[in-house]
Amino acid sequence: MSDRYFVETPISSDRAMLGGAEAHHLIHVMRAKRGSRVVLFDGSGAEFAAAVETIGRSEIELRILSREEIDRELPLRITLGIALPKGDRQKWLVEKAVELGVAALMPLKTARAAAQPVERASDRLRRAVVEASKQCGRNRLMEIRKPQNWAEFIEDSAAEPCRLLAHPQGFHRGADPLPNLKPPQSILLAVGPEGGFTPDETALAVAAGWHTIDLGRRMLRIETAALLLTAMASQWYAGIGRGEGRGERGE
Ligand code: SAM
């Protein structure tokens, strides 16, 4: 899927323009020529076959040949609230969350985080979302939300039917989904910082109806815990790995 390019502006005619890093890659790395065929996506859920028409210094005009709706999303909308790790681990986490089908990532401000998330870092993370989507074939972009305080996050999510918090010594262990919970259409996950959630933060979530999930006896890094919790929720509620996820690749 490496010949996929992301177009910022929604494609609504038989022409599309590529600029910035995408055009640079196509012009200078792939050495596109007039007539070269590529696949475009604009985040709307569709994929477009296109041919290169005009090559400028930093822009490419393409002619749209066909449009196809190809749904590679999970049948369940997962939002991941997370105290982001530092440095390159952020980008790695974003890349893997995109691959696993997370719909939205919410950077959380928590008491014991080594570095609090800032809005301006979101541009870098959004670029990582595009790169990962190009590679894995998603036609909708994982949303990077504005950073939120823990208390606001808990309050705003009160209406969500299914909320799971990764917490060592959490109440729920084991491979089975939580009992008495119908497969939800959306699910909210939360993972804490390197220093862990404070007892007050955990108590606030539990009082608001969150389920705490123990991910085993080993202490996992933030990103490992996030991916494991996402994978468990996908298997429990979206049937991933049990055959029910078929069709996700658009087959
Ligand atoms: N000393 C911290 C503590 O006791 O919570 C360690 C935090 S851990 C590096 C970062 C986050 O990953 C935790 O806040 C939790 O959300 C999640 N996590 C890591 N290991 C876990 C486990 N075994 N079970 C549940 N959650 C875990």
Q: What is the pLDDT of residues 189-203, one digit of tens each?
A: 999 999 999 999 999
Q: How many Å lie between the centroid of ligand 1 and the Cα of residue 140?
A: 30
CA distance 32 to 60: 9
Whole-number Å distance, alpha carbon 104 to ligand 1 midpoint, is 21
In this predicted model, what pLDDT tens digit does every residue of 98-154 receive, in sequence order?
999 999 999 999 999 877 777 778 888 999 999 999 999 999 999 999 999 999 999
Question: pLDDT above 70 covers what percent of the chain?
Answer: 90
**Which ligand 1 atom lies nearest to the CA of residue 216?**
23
Structural contact between residues 110 and 152, judged by C-beta atoms closer than 8 angstroms: no
Residue to mutate, 220, 227, 228, 229, ligand 1, most ligand atoms under 8 Å from C-beta: 220
CB 37 within 8 A of CB 26: no
What integer best gives the mean pLDDT of the chain? 90
Residue limits of CATH 3.40.1280.10 in the chain: 77-249
The pLDDT of residue 2 is 54
- The alpha-helical segments, DSSP class H, found in 75-119 are 88-100
Residue with tokens 């910035």: 20
**Radius of gyration, alpha carbons of the chain:** 20
Give distance in angstroms: CA of 192 to centre of ligand 1: 6
Supply the pLDDT for residue 235. 87
Q: What is the pLDDT of residue 131?
A: 95
150 lines ligand 1 (CB under 6 A): no
Q: Tell the CATH superfamily of the 77-249 domain.
A: SPOUT methyltransferase, trefoil knot domain (3.40.1280.10)
| Position in ligand 1 atom list of the atom nearest CA 191 | 16
Would you state the pLDDT for residue 171? 72
pLDDT on residue 176: 63
Q: What is the pLDDT at residue 240?
A: 80
* Cβ of residue 43 lying under 6 Å from some atom of ligand 1: no
Which atom of ligand 1 lies at the shortest distance from residue 170's CA? 25
CB 200 within 8 A of CB 120: no
Establish whether residue 222 lines the binding site of ligand 1, counting it when its CB lies within 6 angstroms of any ligand atom: yes
Quick one: average pLDDT of 63-67? Answer: 98
> Rounded to the nearest whole angstrom, what is the distance from the C-alpha of residue 196 to the centroid of ligand 1?
6
CB 192 near ligand 1, within 6 Å: yes
Res. 70: pLDDT tops 80: yes
How remote is the CA of residue 75 from the centroid of ligand 1, in Å?
A: 27
The residue whose CB lies within 8 Å of the most ligand 1 atoms, and thus the one to mutate among 109, 215, 227, is: 215
- Asked whether residue 89 carries a pLDDT value surpassing 50, the answer given is yes
Is 90 exceeded by the pLDDT of residue 37? yes
- In percent, the amount of the chain with pLDDT more than 90 equals 75
The amino acid occupying position 5 is Y
The ranges of the chain annotated as CATH 2.40.240.20 are 4-69
Query: Which tops the pLDDT comparison, 53 or 174?
Result: 53
Q: Which fold has domain 4-69?
A: Ribosomal Protein L25; Chain P (2.40.240)
Position 251 scores a pLDDT of 47
- Cβ-contact 17, 54 below 8 angstroms: no
Higher-pLDDT residue of 112 and 176 is 112
